[in-house]
Structure 1
Amino acid sequence: MKKNKNIYLNQKAILATMHKKEQVIAPILKQELGIEVAVPEQLDTDVFGTFSNDVERAGDQLEAAQKKVETAMLQSGLNIGLASEGSFGSHPIIPFMPFNRELILFVDKDRDLEVTGLTANGNTNYAGKIVESYEDAYEFALAQGFPDHGVIVKATEDTTNRKEMEKGIIEADHLKRAVSRLLTSSRKSVFIQTDMRAMFNPTRMKNIELATLDLVKKLQSFCPVCTTPGYEVIEYKKGLECAYCGNPTEAVRSHLYKCKNCTHEEEILFPSGKEYADPARCNWCNP
């Protein structure tokens, strides 16, 4: 795997965002790849989906990012584009814990290349709650990092009516007004949730940064045959042998790399630098 070329030095890319994601993405791409990142002056990325559910997401996570990039590149006339897309839900192993998966897509039209940076972890304040008063709403907000982290107040959890929700709340007075407006004689409770848009959520912004670093790592990895960037691991093969009994374990034995252009594949053994697994991780030695 070659990692010493800088083919994007001094090139320009358009980043499809209206939520200040360039604050973390642009400096990394400039420092690591020499790419100058621009942001569209008028691009409403909310038309591709919102976390408040007033606009349904356009396809899955990758498809939504692809639509954002396509639109931004068309508007700007640039042949390199980026977009990030986040998803939130229950942790895959610990269901009661929240989970954030961040994806950043890099598209190089001239090379017909798509590369994605990814991160996924439980470092998120994603949450929501039904409340019956401003005091309850304020208590919830504080627990989620308010006012550094914004919140959204909605008439009900399922509402998609923009007139029945207020977003980007980062001040106590605004929170009080929103709760008071949506509480009526016939509505005794409202729904408050964390605002997961990047500009209102520093915790999510950190995960976007991590996804960008993963993207850079992949763009700095070149196919040993055709030198196309984005030469990345497509499979983690388990079966590293136990140092004591020699049986295969659940530890990773090799990484399988594949080129996005010429489909060259390469298996790299012992990516951790260890040829045997700790017996403590062996199901035969520790059933």
Structure 2
Amino acid sequence: MSTLPYAGARVAFATMHGKEQLAQGPFYDTLGAGVVAPTGLDTDQFGTFSGEIVRTLSPRAAAQVKARLGMHLADTPYGLASEGSFSSGLGFLVEHHEVLLFIDEIRGLELVEATIATSPLPPARPIATVDAALTYATAIGYPAQGLILRGGAAGEIIHKNLNSLEALRSAMSQLLLHTPGRPIVISPDYRAHRCASRAAVIITLAENMARRLATPCARCHTPGFGQVGIERGLPCSDCGEPTRVIAADIFGCGNCPHTLRTARASRVAAPQWCDSCNP
């Protein structure tokens, strides 16, 4: 354990919603590093899922700012931050983007692990009755899975720390009383401590990051050698033209230009993915 580059390191996870607990296992088991949450950190200032504070930064930029603030408050050169976004452009499906960023101020490293997946939770929807709120809550697994109620003339009345059916009934009744005829929107609460499916994604990214930090570059020996991109262009099995199917994974170093191309197992793509054969 003592030969690992981050053995005994103290890593600040910039969070106020318990994310440090999600990274503690992977970082200690793989790296021998401890992960803590800085005290006095307000990550809501960079935007909230409930909409009181609008997000103005890209996910990566927000993670950078959070991580560096957490490092400053915890007085450590190592930082972590994650940023999640959820969109329901497909109507009934919710796409979950999650970014986990690690900063090593001593080595000048800034590494990102990210994923895009379909959330198991339904999108937000307008409701008009207490019964509709209870039906939605039951479907998403409330109260273990949190939810958000938003009402008022401009959606300015927000309830997001509800933890029982009684609290939900009371909050919904208040919104119906104070904003008659106005739409009330109910949605999942995506904060990590109220959303088990998002927490699981962050754990997976933390495991990936820990393994990456345990992997040195073959050229400069800096930790953090890992996947940095993909290469599309797998040839069509019928016409041989390049398709948009992934042909290889690209691994790289965060410190030097060294990269490694690893071809995927498939050597050809089905014609259905070929723009020439199937325009």
> Structure 2 matches for 1:1-287, cutoff 5 A?
6-90=4-88, 94=90, 96-156=92-152, 158-159=154-155, 161=156, 164-184=157-177, 186-189=179-182, 190-241=184-235, 248-268=242-262, 270=263, 272-274=264-266, 276-277=267-268, 283=274, 287=278
Name the SS of the counterpart of 1:85 in structure 2: strand
User: Can you list the C-alpha shifts for 1:34-91, whole angstroms capped at 9, x where unaligned?
Assistant: 1111112221211111001101225111111111111111111111011111000036
Change (3 A) 1:35 1:143: same
Q: Counterparts of 1:235 and 1:176 in 2: how far apart (Å)?
A: 48
Change (3 A) 1:156 1:122: farther
Amino acid at match of 2:5: I
Amino acid at match of 2:173: S
User: Can you list the C-alpha shifts for 1:92-137, whole angstroms capped at 9, x where unaligned?
Assistant: xx55411111111111110111111212100341521222221111
CA RMSD of aligned residues (A): 2.5
Identity across aligned pairs (percent)? Answer: 29
Change (3 A) 1:186 1:116: closer
* 2:102 and 2:110 in contact (8 A); partners too: yes
* 1:97 and 1:122 in contact (8 A); partners too: yes
Amino acid at match of 2:53: V
Q: Counterparts of 2:181 and 2:23 in 1: how far apart (Å)?
A: 42
Change (3 A) 1:283 1:202: same
- Stretches of structure 1 that go unaligned for 5 or more consecutive residues are none
Amino acid at match of 2:4: N
Q: Counterparts of 1:244 and 1:141 in 2: how far apart (Å)?
A: 50
Structure 1 residue 213: Cα displacement: 2.3
TM-score normalized by the length of structure 2? 0.88
Change (3 A) 1:157 1:7: farther
Change (3 A) 1:62 1:176: same
Amino acid at match of 2:23: I
Q: Counterparts of 2:212 and 2:219 in 1: how far apart (Å)?
A: 16
Q: Counterparts of 2:159 and 2:31 in 1: how far apart (Å)?
A: 39
Amino acid at match of 2:180: R
* 2:8 and 2:34 in contact (8 A); partners too: yes
Change (3 A) 1:126 1:19: farther
Amino acid at match of 1:145: G
User: Can you list the C-alpha shifts for 1:183-210, whole angstroms capped at 9, x where unaligned?
Assistant: 2265234222211111111111111112
The count of residues paired between Structure 1 and Structure 2 equals 275
- Stretches of structure 2 that go unaligned for 5 or more consecutive residues are none
Change (3 A) 1:225 1:208: same
Name the SS of the counterpart of 2:260 in structure 1: strand
Q: Counterparts of 2:275 and 2:159 in 1: how far apart (Å)?
A: 56
